[in-house]
């Protein structure tokens, strides 16, 4: 049994023990972050505040093109908050303030020239709970291409919808009922519909915030396969509370703790020979 498997087996039964924040209240030091050549996303000195409360502390991170990077760490450590900085979803939260530098290739994500609608078309998002629109399966996928004017004709729109559903691994299951409501699908199908909706406008990056946490193991396995396929064309940033999932789907893993990015390394390394003692404590199921 490899060290990776051993670590994961040892912690599997304790996976749900991280629902509350650990005892440590201060993260003293972090492991230096690796620079990525020609990254898709570059964050420097990123901080996020909710009112007076700081949720993210001075994070530096590069995310490569066609990389799947997993974000793990205890509940409340800032994974979702950091994820949402990338497509400015925090803009919609009252009292939330973001500082630092965020680049999507050479474009300043928080710059005055950035159009947020365009940003969210380039950086799509899939949420924890599948959230199809109360529309038909077809319209769920066609909506984005329509509002962004991506289809010149009905035939082109049909093609985009079909291709998106194919890439999301859902076409065979829905091709005969495209006019039925998206909300009538199973949970796993709904999540694949949401992925089809996200890719229908050809994003560069897909953010996924615990995309499988509402799904059964079979639907989860299907989404994980899909992530591997999508990585050929997109940059994927996935938040997961499952270390097993991070190990299965990601190239690199970032460990967050109390709003700090403690360590980011190759996934294999994080789960076998982590550099930071907090990472080690987390992956082996203990703290301190
Ligand atoms: N909308 C919000 N308003 C105020 N505080 C928030 C909000 N969202 C998250 N927080 C706080 O920010 C911290 C990080 O939360 P979050 O990013 O959701 O963590 P995670 O995704 O790792 O569980 C937590 O202390 C949480 O309570
Ligand atoms: Mg979260």
Q: For the segment 101-145, what is each residue's pLDDT rounded down to a tens digit?
A: 999 999 999 999 999 999 999 999 999 999 999 999 999 999 999
Do residues 248 and 232 lie in contact, with contact meaning Cβ atoms separated by under 8 Å?
A: no
Do residues 37 and 67 lie in contact, with contact meaning Cβ atoms separated by under 8 Å?
A: no
Nearest CA to 248 among 3, 5, 2, 62? 5
Q: Give the residue with greater pLDDT, 32 vs 74.
A: 74
Nearest CA to 163 among 196, 131, 188? 196
Q: How far is the CA of 122 from the centre of ligand 2 (A)?
A: 22
Q: How far is the CA of 240 from the centre of ligand 1 (A)?
A: 15
Residue with tokens 């097993």: 244
Q: How far is the CA of 53 from the centre of ligand 1 (A)?
A: 10
Residue 146 — φ and ψ, nearest 5°? -65, -50
Q: Counting atoms of ligand 1 from 1, which one is nearest the CA of 71? A: 22
Output the CATH code of domain 3-10+34-283. Answer: 3.40.50.300
Give kind and range of the element (H or E) at residue 70: strand 68-72
Instruction: Count Cα neighbours of 209 within 13 Å in the Cβ-side half-sphere.
Output: 20
- The strand pairing partners of 99, in sequence order, are 47
Closest-lying ligand to the alpha carbon of 57?
A: 1
Contacts of 171 (CB under 8 A, 6+ apart): 162, 165
Report pLDDT digits (tens) over 197-254. Answer: 999 999 999 999 999 999 999 989 989 999 999 999 999 999 999 999 999 999 999 9
* C-alpha–C-alpha distance, residues 161 and 139, integer Å: 9
Neighbours of 156 (CB within 10 A): 12
* Pocket of ligand 1 from Cβ distances under 6 Å: 50, 55, 73, 75-81, 93
Alpha helices in the chain (DSSP H): 3-12, 79-85, 116-122, 137-147, 154-167, 171-174, 187-199, 217-230, 243-249, 267-272, 277-283
* pLDDT score of 271: 96
* pLDDT score of 25: 60
Mean pLDDT estimate for the chain? 90
Q: Whose CA is nearest to atom 6 of ligand 1?
A: 50
- Write b or e for each residue in 173-207: b if 16 or more Cβ atoms lie within 10 A of its Cβ, otherwise e: bbeeebeeebbebeebbbbbbbbbbbbbbbbbbbb
Q: Counting atoms of ligand 1 from 1, which one is nearest the CA of 95? A: 3
* pLDDT score of 6: 42
pTM: 0.90
* pLDDT score of 245: 96
Do residues 234 and 205 lie in contact, with contact meaning Cβ atoms separated by under 8 Å?
A: yes
Nearest CA to 23 among 270, 280, 255, 278? 278
* pLDDT score of 7: 44
Output DSSP code: residue 149. T
Mutate to test the pocket of ligand 1, among 27, 52, 73, 81 (most ligand atoms within 8 A of CB): 81
Closest-lying ligand to the alpha carbon of 75?
A: 1
Q: Counting atoms of ligand 1 from 1, which one is nearest the CA of 256? A: 22
Nearest CA to 109 among 125, 126, 96, 123? 123
Q: Whose CA is nearest to atom 27 of ligand 1?
A: 76
Q: Whose CA is nearest to atom 7 of ligand 1?
A: 50
């Amino acid at each position: 049994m490899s060290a990776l498997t051993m670590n994961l087996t040892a912690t599997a039964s304790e996976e749900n023990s991280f629902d509350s924040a650990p005892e440590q209240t201060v993260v003293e030091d972090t492991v230096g972050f690796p620079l990525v050549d020609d990254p898709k996303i570059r964050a420097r000195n990123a901080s996020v505040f909710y009112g007076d409360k700081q949720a993210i502390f001075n994070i530096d991170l590069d995310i490569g093109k066609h990389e799947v990077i997993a974000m793990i760490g205890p509940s409340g450590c800032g994974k979702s908050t950091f994820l949402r900085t990338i497509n400015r979803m925090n803009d919609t939260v009252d009292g939330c303030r973001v500082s630092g530098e965020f680049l999507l290739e050479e474009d300043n994500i928080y710059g005055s020239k950035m159009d947020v609608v365009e940003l969210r078309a380039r950086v799509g998002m899939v949420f924890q709970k599948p959230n199809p629109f109360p529309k038909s399966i077809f319209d769920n996928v066609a909506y984005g291409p329509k509002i962004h004017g991506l289809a010149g004709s009905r035939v082109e729109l049909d093609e985009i919808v079909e291709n998106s559903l194919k890439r999301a691994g859902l076409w065979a299951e829905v091709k005969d009922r495209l006019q039925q409501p998206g909300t009538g699908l199973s949970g796993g199908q709904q999540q694949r519909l949401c992925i089809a909706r996200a890719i229908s406008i050809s994003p560069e990056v897909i953010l996924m915030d615990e995309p499988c946490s509402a799904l059964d193991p079979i639907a989860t396995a299907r989404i994980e396969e899909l992530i591997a396929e999508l990585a050929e064309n997109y940059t994927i940033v996935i938040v997961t509370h499952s270390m097993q999932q991070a190990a299965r789907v990601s190239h690199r893993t970032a460990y967050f703790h109390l709003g700090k990015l403690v360590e980011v390394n190759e996934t294999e390394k994080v789960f076998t020979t982590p550099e930071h003692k907090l990472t080690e404590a987390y992956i082996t199921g203990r703290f301190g």
